[in-house]
A and B are shown apart, each in its own frame.
Chain A
Amino acid sequence: MRNARQRFCFLFLCALVSACAHYPRNDALQSYRPEEGYRFDALQDGDNTDSLFLCLALSGGGTRAAALAYGVMRRLDEVTITWKGKQRRLLDELDCISSVSGGSFTAAYYALFGRRLFQDFRARFLDRDVQQTLFHRVFYPGNLVRLLSPYFGPIDLAAEYYGETVFEDRTFGDLIASGRRPFIMVNATNLASGERFDFTQDQFDLLGSDLATFPVARAVAASSAFPILLSPVSLFNHPQPPGFALPDEYKDAEQDYFLNRRRYQWARNRLSLLDKAERPYVHIMDGGLADNIGLRAIDNAYRRGFIRHRLNDGLIEKLVLVVVNARTEAQDEVTRMESPPSLAFVAYKTATISMDNYSFETIEMVRELSAERVKAQQVVAACQQRLAERCPGAPGLPTFAVAVDPHVIELNFEMISDPQRRRYFLELPTTFALPRPAVNDLIAMGGELLDRSPEFQQFLMGVVPKR
């Protein structure tokens, strides 16, 4: 009798804990303040010039991607440049980082803690067996009960863990308070629309939500919520706050169905969040599903966002975009098997094939965009020269505010010339638990790839003093 009562009490307690378990709710925005919040324009530039504008795109790929990104950033920190008469570390000119999945850990850590990245990020994340710890956490008795709730999933446990051990429970409000660049765009994927979702106040405005109180760890968890293994991060789509006014760019872009389908689709996808009755919740997961190299957010800023505004204002003279792509190639394994691959393997490939298919195209698209600008500048300059020669005294042609010198630099393992070394890196697994020697190799390779890049060397020629 006594046992039965104890059992009932235990089960009742479990049901109670389970019923109480709910993912943290993103806060509603109290008032619409388009000049404030986590937006590029709200951050001070300090000593970081606009004239040399440096952005990083950090790809997904678990610890492999995080370590490679770390290596590239460490090398950027070692390079001294002279710009506008001042000597500085190249990393101090970093203006924005767009990141996906594993790359988001490095990006968010640097944005929060700056150069501390090079002191303790290895111990806090890169050298840890994150997967095993997460796996054990699932089986803590309290967590098992919480996971029975339909409103609490493994991703919520992961976010708690990342908050405690990596990001010190900081929020985007801390990034706003620091007021310094780089501006980070942590990318996830909207599960319903398949669209890229970034953790910026511009995006959260449409959710009627305040990003300032949102934990950075939760954004990173969403960005790295690998399909099948982890559940999505869920967000409330709140009513718009008083005073909300739709920016003109959305209203204008909605008319562009025949004129510019890309711009039209961008606006439509974003504006779909304003339909609160149809979409009261948004579920997001791994950013790699929409773009596994994180370049789309930079492409968006280049076409119509903060980079475009600065280009037209003549503020940017050198534009440097570095894509750190930790892509691997593990396809040989399947082509060596006579039997059809397992369902688990097929599920994994289904979730990842699309991630990699468009990466190459995205990089080429951005390259073409920057080449188009260079060509436009050359055409205007050549015509101006002809005009001056043939019609001296004729009024000059209109020119751009500034002749921009753009550099698009992609770093990936295919750049490694030694076939054995290349194969070693291309076969590193996507996991949140890599052995320490592999992490060492990746960090060293990050710097090496940067040094090997002809495009990076060409850029350096203009900013590194000659000896």
Chain B
Amino acid sequence: MEYLLVHFPASRRVKVGNVFQGKTEELIELEAGTYTITLDEPPINFTPKKQEVRLAGTTPLSPREVTFAQR
């Protein structure tokens, strides 16, 4: 399995594809592959609106990190 870590200044639910899975600053475990990541809304106070990530070769100690900035 692969590991994803999403950063945002506030705690927010993370949406992977069409489904909420976990929260920011927590390890999210997914199978290897391509994913569209965004955050729960409203408020839409984050940028970019969504990000596509490719998960491969991660470990729980070195997850793929994705950052959303506050607008």
Contacts and interface: CB of A to CB of B under 8 A. Distances in A.
- Binding partners A and B: yes
Contacts of A304: 30-31
A383 B55 CA distance: 23
B29 A311 contact: yes
A402 to B, nearest CB: 9
Interface residues of A, number: 33
Nearest to B56: A259
Interface stretch (A64-72, A100-108, A373-381, A456-464): A373-381
B39 interface: no
B26 A399 contact: yes
Interface in A305-322: 308-309, 311-314
B22 A313 contact: yes
A319 to B, nearest CB: 13
B26 A256 contact: no
Contacts of A249: 17-19
Nearest to A250: B17
Contacts of B19: 249, 309
Nearest to A41: B19
Interface string B1-34: 1010100000000001111111101111111111
B1 A376 contact: yes
A412 B10 CA distance: 49
Contact of B61 (A248, A252, A380, A400): A380
A255 B22 contact: no
A400 B26 contact: yes
Contacts, number: 90
Contacts of B55: 259
Contact of B60 (A248, A255, A256, A376): A376
A242 interface: no
Given A309-B21, A380-B60, A398-B5, A263 B33 contact: yes
A263 B21 CA distance: 18
Nearest to B38: A248
A462 to B, nearest CB: 22
Contacts of A376: 1, 3, 27, 29, 59-60
Contacts of A259: 32-34, 54-56
**Residue from B28, B36, B59 having most chain A Cβ neighbours under 10 A:** B28
Nearest to A255: B34
Interface of A: 34, 247-249, 252-253, 255-256, 259-260, 262-263, 303-304, 308-309, 311-314, 369, 372-373, 376-377, 379-380, 383, 397-401
20 contacts: A249-B18, A253-B33, A255-B33, A256-B32, A256-B33, A259-B56, A260-B32, A263-B32, A263-B33, A309-B19, A309-B21, A312-B22, A314-B26, A379-B60, A380-B27, A380-B61, A398-B26, A400-B60, A401-B22, A401-B27
Interface of B: 1, 3, 5, 16-23, 25-36, 52, 54-56, 59-61, 63
